[in-house]
């Protein structure tokens, strides 16, 4: 089986590295797209000989034009599946429609708890005893689409942001590649808002 996967990034790229290192998913990655130049994630892709592209919001008149640029680039590459790996820009509904059911995001909380870009800090601030990781299909709303997989991560009394984020990352690095594999292999079935993963469900969290 072959597939064409695009990965969207904004920063260090540890989730991208997990995808690159996955023996199944890594060879599927055709392009890595960033909203920022000169970031470690792009260097990780370039070291593997994978095409990269930088599309910055500031270069476009508005978010709609920015979204179309990202969408058109991926459509031109005949991309089958898109994976957000720490991508910090919100794309409009046009992108969600173009890749409906084929766009995954990994989020560092048990959605719908703690959406947004400060989820680990929010979990600590709220004093929760358990947080976690969610992989979901992306729709027209932020951190809202149908949930593919979740796994809990305990929050310990002496945790700080660095400690908790490190344990969250360990789970992200396992769940995201497993979800990409399931989607590409046709093992992901959507029934309303319920995602059912056929075979290998043990790979997708607890």
User: Residues, the chain, total?
Assistant: 206
| pTM of the entire predicted model | 0.94
Which positions ≥6 away from 145 have C-beta within 8 Å?
105, 136, 137, 138, 139
Q: Each residue of 28-49: pLDDT tens digit? A: 999 999 999 999 999 999 999 9
Beta bridge partners of 133: 151
Q: Each residue of 80-127: pLDDT tens digit? A: 999 999 999 999 999 999 999 999 999 999 999 999 999 999 999 999
Q: Each residue of 114-133: pLDDT tens digit? A: 999 999 999 999 999 999 99
Given 77, 107, 126, 169, the catalytic residue: 107
Q: Is 151 helix (H, G, I), strand (E, B) or coil?
A: strand
74, 66 contact by CB (below 8 A):
no
Whether 144 is catalytic is no
User: In angstroms, how far is the first alpha carbon of the chain from the final one?
Assistant: 27
Domains with residue ranges and CATH for the chain:
1-99 (3.40.50.170), 106-206 (3.40.50.170)
Biggest CA–CA distance in the chain, Å, is 49
């Amino acid at each position: 089986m072959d597939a064409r996967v695009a990965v969207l990034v904004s920063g260090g790229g540890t989730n991208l590295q997990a995808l690159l290192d996955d023996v199944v998913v890594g060879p599927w990655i055709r392009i890595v797209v960033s909203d920022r130049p000169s970031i470690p994630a792009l260097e990780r892709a370039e070291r593997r000989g994978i095409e990269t592209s930088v599309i910055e919001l500031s270069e476009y008149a508005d978010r709609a034009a920015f979204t179309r640029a990202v969408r058109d680039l991926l459509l031109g590459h005949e991309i089958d599946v898109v994976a957000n790996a720490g991508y910090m820009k919100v794309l409009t509904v046009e992108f969600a429609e173009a890749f409906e059911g084929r766009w995954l995001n990994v989020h560092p909380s048990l959605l719908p708890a703690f959406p947004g870009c400060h989820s680990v800090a929010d979990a600590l601030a709220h004093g929760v005893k358990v947080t976690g990781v969610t992989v979901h299909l992306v729709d027209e709303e932020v951190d809202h689409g149908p949930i593919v997989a979740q796994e809990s991560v305990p929050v310990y009394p002496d945790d700080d942001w660095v400690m908790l984020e490190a344990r969250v990352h360990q789970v992200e690095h396992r769940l995201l590649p497993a979800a990409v594999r399931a989607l590409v292999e046709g093992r992901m079935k959507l029934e309303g808002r319920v995602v059912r993963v056929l075979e290998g469900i043990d790979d997708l969290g607890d």
